[in-house]
Amino acid sequence: MKLEDKDLISIQETRDLIRAAKVAQAELAKMSQEQIDTIVKVVAKACYDERVRLAKMAAEETGFGKWEDKVLKNALASQTLLENIKDMKTVGILSDDKVNKVMEVAVPVGVVAGLIPSTNPTSTVMYKALISLKAGNAIVFSPHPNALKAIEATVEVIQKAAKSAGCPDGAVGVIHNVSLQATQELMKNNDTNLILATGGSAMVKAAYSSGTPAIGVGPGNGPAFIEKSADIPTAVRHIIESKTFDNGVICASEQSVIVEEVSKAAVIAEFKKQGAYFLNEADAEKLGKFIILPSGAMNPKMVGKTPQVIGKMAGVEVPADAKVLIAETSGVGKHAPYSMEKLAPILGFYTVKTWEEACELSMKILHHEGVGHTMAIHSQNEEVIREFALKKPVSRLLVNTPAALGGVGVTTGLFPAFTLGCGAVGGSATSDNVSPENLFNKRRIAYGVRELSDIKKAQSATTTSVDTTSTDENQLIDLLVKKVLEKLQ
């Protein structure tokens, strides 16, 4: 009996998908803005119509989060996204400056590699497919193996809808025989033009090391500072809403809370009132050893789980009505598990004396992990908010809003996105909430508006004027010095 090599099969499948995508993209590149927009509109509607079924599939297959919250994420990645991009100019002539005589033309990047995580699988597929198609690109998805069925089902919905709207076959593809080798082939293939990498640090690093242009995002580890002027009940509600949304799997969600001594008691009381459970010292230590592995990596077993499930796995008794687990802490670093990213309803709790100290602590936390990503501040003091805005090494400073929902554009005016750039400080190619505008290049057509001989004449006239002025000034100084000397004599 002949044994099949699964790795070779997956590599061959990936190459076939890339070839088909390249052919399809050449057809997309010939389409008008109206044709592209029709495809995008039909695909977005199909995704929105299937948002509940796909959300349930994702929750059941991965075991992460709440399907009800995944429905909202699917709606954001389809209907809300469409509203934000439907009037966006992405095809043909973008601008024509008659004064400076410079014209800009959109040029699709080509074939996009879409790397998909297990935390937000269906919504990320919808989002990446729509922004890629809007910019005239084809896309091939590399699914996380733990969410393969949900991702395949989402791609099937997209493919069917896109074809009905005139999209060429192969414009949206997915690797079914998932393997590490297949993902590497997708990233390194000469016909792959850009990588959209959303996932763990190792995967994002591999994308940037592939030799193919990449837009990747690092881990989030955003602190939330509740400054003393904040509306404390509202701030606490926002943080709990954010941290319990889909059980905390959105990377922009808060990972720690910082408060000043003067308001500590009021903040703790409000957290308890709204359903948070503060761990005692022994339980906090026990949970800390569970949520972060000895290697320093986040324990995948607790990702997207409820406080009760996490408590049971860690051997910590958790009340049945606890919404969020909170541990008081002071350290930052590998020895301090609560200072790290925790994609679950768990928060570290820090106390400082002043907002200046909070400013420094938040930067220390971010530079340990999550630099360039996101943080939140709850305050009514615009001067303090401004100081945080000027100094924090993040791409999104979210003010008086739930961080998870604000970061992806649900409760803020930010572009609705599931790829959140971390900027150069975070090792990312962009600090944007990635949109179709990140997925096409601009060809600039520039007409001549001046002659070299004219430039030389102008330069010569300027030089002469400067030299004359300089000589006149020197002569005047010499004359004054001479007069002074004469008087002294």
Question: Token pair 């509600």 is at which residue?
Answer: 237
Burial class (CB in 10 A: 0-12, 13-18, 19+), 451: exposed
Fill in the amino acid letter for 393.
P
Sign of the Cα torsion 310, 316, 317, 322 reads: negative
Instruction: List the helix and strand counts (H, then E) for the chain.
Output: 17, 15
Edge-to-edge order in the sheet of strand 138-142 = 172-174, 138-142, 111-115, 194-197, 214-216
**Measured between alpha carbons, how far is 197 from 343 in angstroms, rounded to an integer?**
18
Please pick, among 47, 167, 251, 422, the residue that the annotation labels catalytic.
Answer: 251
Burial class (CB in 10 A: 0-12, 13-18, 19+), 221: buried
423 Ramachandran zone, left/alpha/beta (phi>0; psi -120 to 50) = left
Kindly list the distances between the CA atom of residue 414 and the CA atoms of 41, 147, 241, in Å, as whole numbers in the listed order: 21, 27, 19
Kindly list the distances between the CA atom of residue 426 and the CA atoms of 201, 215, 365, 377, 398, in Å, as whole numbers in the listed order: 11, 12, 13, 20, 17
Please say if 251 is a catalytic residue.
Answer: yes
267 in Cβ contact with 259 (< 8 Å): yes
Tokens found for residue 192: 């792959």
**Measured between alpha carbons, how far is 74 from 60 in angstroms, rounded to an integer?**
15
Strands 102-108 and 93-97: antiparallel
Give the DSSP per-residue string, 173-231: EE-SS--HHHHHHHHH-TT--EEEE-S-HHHHHHHHTSSS-EEE-----EEEEE-TTS-
Question: Token pair 């074939």 is at which residue?
Answer: 111
Distance of CA 25 to the CA centre of its chain: 25
End-to-end Cα spacing for the chain: 118
Give the DSSP per-residue string, 247-287: GG-STTSEEEEEEEHHHHHHHHHHHHHTTEEEPPHHHHHHH
User: Catalytic positions, please?
Assistant: 251
